């Protein structure tokens, strides 16, 4: 008994979450039932693929659901739901500090999910992965962590500069506004050229010896524009800036290789990659993550505590204060495996084909303007209709069972800059079909006749 208690104390002091740090007596096998044969999704069998997503098998206002709001949230397939349910039914317990069997199993499962997601984004040996509640918390963690002081001086100070593109979701703009105010740094915006594209030469004109941070999206959620983020990140890194990439709209739509990018921090969410809500990732270079002041203080992020001071744990525990969303991590890892089974290159081509079909069809409807119509195909088509408010258009489409997103898409500065105001956005996923795109086109044409 004494040995067991001593082992637990050692693990608490070290903030241990690694199976290797536990006594072998605390590494029991999971009691989960035998796994069912894996379901292998295939784009070549769309009906079978769609059958794995229960939510799609419903009607809305008497019409089959055409779910085209995937840039906001994707749907969840059965293998992901099964993985979450198996954890909740057989292994649910709090992790890292328990000596009982379920706690040890839950710890193993949680850390296995971390490893699976590191493989999914091709994180290298120099990288670490931190679980958060989503992209928004991940980006706030970086912005706050660089402008606040905890156990080391803040990186951002008066006179420093932060460069952010205008294509950003509010979650990659507002935190930097606040960081600038908190630290006295200056926020500078990277604007597009006359063709609506970000150019390396324009970024070069903004970078100075005082540039500390460059934050950029890998795909604009409001328009579908994909900036040349590889070249822009490289230029900022060469200038000595820390680089931050919002990959929420890209990580589930094709290959993503963190080890090949000059990227210090990358953020993405589970619910945009066929996983559960309330779980996300902040990954990046270990030395860069180590510079962040923690956002949450409390359990599991400390090495030891006295009445008046604390020493923080090593990464990743240092940035994961509180009870984590273990079931969410399980589901996110299962979603990554589901995407990989489908084939990421084939998925990207499928979605790009749907987007091209939508853009070509929308462009033939009088009064419709597609935003970033000629950009590299992604999974997003955003458009306006002369004389028609997007909310009215979205309501009429919903009456036909077609779900789209309307409004500013949390990117109001961008849409104001483009002079288009709120838009209607259709966004595509693995389970969408050409027939659904054609329903969208027919629905828009019908709505235009009604609303004008």
CATH number at residue 328: 3.40.640.10
Strand order across the 161-165 sheet: 127-132, 280-285, 265-269, 242-246, 211-217, 161-165, 186-190
pLDDT of residue 22: 31
Number of domains in the chain: 2
Q: Enumerate the β-bridge partners of residue 369.
A: 384
In this structure, the answer to whether residues 124 and 212 fall within a common structural domain is yes
In this structure, the answer to whether residues 114 and 191 fall within a common structural domain is yes
Distance CA 418, CA 199 (A): 16
CA distances 6 to 10, 23, 163, 171, 306, Å, are 6, 10, 49, 44, 19
pLDDT of residue 153: 76
pLDDT of residue 149: 73
Domain boundary among 301, 321, 341: 341
Which range of residues forms the domain containing residue 270? Answer: 104-341
In this structure, the answer to whether residues 305 and 367 fall within a common structural domain is no
Tell me: the pLDDT tens digits for 308-359? 999 999 999 999 999 999 999 999 999 999 999 999 999 999 999 999 999 9
In this structure, the answer to whether residues 382 and 394 fall within a common structural domain is yes
Evaluate the CA torsion angle 22, 27, 32, 38 in order and state its sign. Answer: positive
Tell me: the pLDDT tens digits for 177-201? 999 999 999 999 999 998 889 999 9
- Residue 15, pLDDT > 70, answer no
pTM value surpassing 0.95: no
Q: Kindly state the average pLDDT of the residues 417-426.
A: 95
In this structure, the answer to whether residues 363 and 324 fall within a common structural domain is no
Domain boundary among 323, 341, 359: 341
Percent share of the chain, pLDDT over 90: 84
- Residue 37, pLDDT > 50, answer no
pLDDT of residue 185: 97
In this structure, the answer to whether residues 380 and 417 fall within a common structural domain is yes
Known catalytic residues are 410
In this structure, the answer to whether residues 276 and 140 fall within a common structural domain is yes
pLDDT of residue 58: 97
In this structure, the answer to whether residues 362 and 319 fall within a common structural domain is no
pLDDT of residue 39: 58
Answer yes or no: is 160 within a domain: yes
- Residue 280, pLDDT > 90, answer yes
Answer yes or no: is 70 within a domain: no
């Amino acid at each position: 008994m004494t040995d067991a208690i001593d082992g637990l104390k050692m693990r608490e002091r070290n903030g241990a979450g690694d199976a290797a740090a536990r006594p072998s007596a605390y590494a029991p096998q999971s009691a989960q039932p035998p796994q069912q044969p894996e379901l292998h999704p295939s784009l070549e069998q769309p009906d079978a693929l769609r059958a794995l997503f229960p939510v799609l098998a419903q009607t809305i206002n008497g019409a089959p659901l055409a779910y085209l709001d995937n840039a906001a949230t994707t749907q969840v397939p059965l293998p992901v739901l099964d993985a979450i349910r198996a954890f909740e039914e057989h292994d649910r317990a709090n992790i890292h500090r328990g000596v009982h069997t379920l706690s040890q199993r839950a710890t193993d499962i949680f850390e296995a999910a971390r490893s699976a997601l590191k493989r999914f984004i091709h994180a290298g040996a120099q990288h670490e992965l931190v679980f958060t509640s989503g992209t928004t918390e991940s980006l706030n963690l970086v912005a706050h962590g660089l402008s606040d002081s905890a156990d080391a001086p803040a990186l951002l100070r008066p006179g420093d500069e932060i460069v952010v593109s205008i294509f950003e979701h509010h979650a990659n703009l507002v935190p930097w506004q606040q960081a600038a105010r908190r630290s006295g740094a200056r926020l500078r915006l990277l604007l597009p050229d006359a063709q609506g594209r970000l150019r390396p030469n324009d970024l070069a004109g903004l970078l100075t010896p005082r540039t500390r941070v460059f934050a950029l999206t890998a795909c604009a959620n409001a328009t579908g524009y994909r900036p040349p983020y590889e070249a822009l990140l490289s230029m900022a890194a060469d200038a000595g800036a820390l680089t931050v990439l919002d990959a929420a709209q890209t990580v589930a739509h094709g290959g993503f290789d963190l080890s090949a990018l000059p990227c210090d921090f990358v953020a993405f969410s589970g619910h945009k990659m066929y996983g559960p809500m309330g779980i996300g990732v902040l990954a990046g270079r270990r030395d860069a993550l180590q510079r962040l002041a923690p956002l949450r203080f409390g359990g599991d992020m400390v090495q030891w505590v006295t009445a008046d001071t604390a020493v923080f744990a090593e990464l990743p525990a240092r940035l994961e204060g509180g009870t984590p969303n273990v079931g969410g991590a399980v589901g996110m890892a299962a979603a990554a495996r589901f995407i990989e089974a489908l084939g990421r290159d084939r998925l990207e081509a499928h979605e790009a084909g749907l987007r091209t079909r939508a853009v070509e069809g929308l462009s033939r409807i009088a009064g419709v303007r597609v935003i970033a119509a000629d950009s590299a195909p992604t999974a997003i088509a955003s458009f306006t209709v002369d004389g028609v408010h997007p909310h009215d258009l979205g309501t009429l489409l919903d009456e036909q069972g077609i779900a789209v997103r309307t409004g500013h898409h949390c990117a109001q500065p961008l849409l104001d800059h483009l002079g288009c105001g709120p838009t209607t956005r259709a966004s595509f996923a693995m389970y969408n079909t050409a027939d659904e795109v054609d329903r969208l086109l027919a629905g828009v044409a019908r709505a235009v006749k009604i609303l004008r």
